[in-house]
Amino acid sequence: MILSVSRRTDVPNYYADWFLHRVKEGFLYVRNPMNAHQISKIALSPDVIDCIVFWTKNPANMIEKLECLRDYAYYFQFTLTGYGKEIEPHLPDKRKVLIPSFQRLSAKVGKERMVWRYDPILVNKRYTPEYHLKAFEEIAGCLAGYTERVVISFLDFYVKTQRNMKGLGVRELTKEEIVSLAGRMAEIASKYHLIIETCAEQTDLKELGIRHGSCIDKQLIEKITGAKLLGGKDKNQRKECGCMESVEIGAYHTCLNGCKYCYANFNEAYVKETVKLYRPDSSLLCGCVTSEDKITVRKMKSLKEIQGSFLV
């Protein structure tokens, strides 16, 4: 099975100690966001976890602890954009901290296990298409040789994210604007020998040399693990999403990055209250099991294809 760590929160940034403690213990609990009293017990044995996909904007707290994951295959999705504090308020300086962190992590794990995400792309009076092109090229130049691919996507206007972006003057792009901007980004990616992909994007950009990508990427995982996988498409994601099936272990409203476009952590007050429950030794992320909770053991199995054998 593939472990997603995590679409909902930045585990490497804020909860590395919790996750690595759970790896040591061999299991963790995940509360169902749609049913608060339903908890799944997830086995973390290397025998059933084929690959771990980390999502982060600042992996500094995990870089020196990767030895704890020596028995696992994994890769990182590292979001690195050109936005300032009004969009990504709690991230450190990009040039001084985050780009060097990307480079340092890549040196440890290898560029094939580092995916750069420049997303979501939003446009207002400050963050114009020309601004994005300049930021994208600067970051691409810094990351050349430290990654093999970059993922882009354009902002989806969810009701909850629109509320957080109120006053920022963010506007929707026309299809023509998307095609124009994406095409120029593809040229920049090619200049720095990067494969460029989109994430759950409705607009087909393949004529620009931009393919539909997958965050939980079956082909990449097969390359990293050296094994064929039997898993199918993740039915819990949007139809445009190309991700293969995985187990999500994060919790909503636990990320302190504070990004204004985030769909998973859109209430800052709720986030502050939730993270008060964090304990590195807890089986649950930011919470505890109560008498009203029902724990169900999730069936976990490897998705690796087992070759048939013949008796001689």
Each residue's pLDDT tens digit, 204-217: 898 999 989 889 99
State how far the alpha carbon of 43 is from the alpha carbons of 27, 48, 246, 280, 298, in Å. 4, 8, 13, 18, 8
Residues in a beta bridge with 56: 78
d(CA 283, CA 83): 35
What value does the mean pLDDT take over residues 121-145? Answer: 98
Mode of pairing for the β-strands spanning 38-43 and 211-212: unpaired
Is residue 306 in a domain? no
Residues 7-20 pLDDT 10s: 999 999 999 999 99
Is residue 32 in a domain? yes
State how far the alpha carbon of 20 is from the alpha carbons of 44, 113, 280, in Å. 11, 19, 9
> Which one has a higher pLDDT value, 207 or 201?
207
Residue 90 predicted with pLDDT over 70: yes
Is residue 261 in a domain? yes
- At 306, list the tokens: 């087992």
Cα angle at 84 between 61 and 260, to 5 degrees? 80
Residues 163-199 pLDDT 10s: 888 889 999 999 999 999 999 999 999 999 999 999 8
| Residue-level pLDDT at 240 | 72
d(CA 214, CA 219): 9
Is residue 303 in a domain? no
| Residue-level pLDDT at 307 | 60
Is residue 309 in a domain? no
Expressed as residue numbers, the domain containing 102 is: 2-297
Is residue 161 in a domain? yes
Question: What Rg, from alpha-carbon coordinates, does the chain have?
Answer: 20
52: exposed, middle or buried (Cβ count in 10 Å: 0-12, 13-18, 19+)? buried
If one counts the domains in the chain, the total is 1
Is residue 302 in a domain? no
Is residue 305 in a domain? no
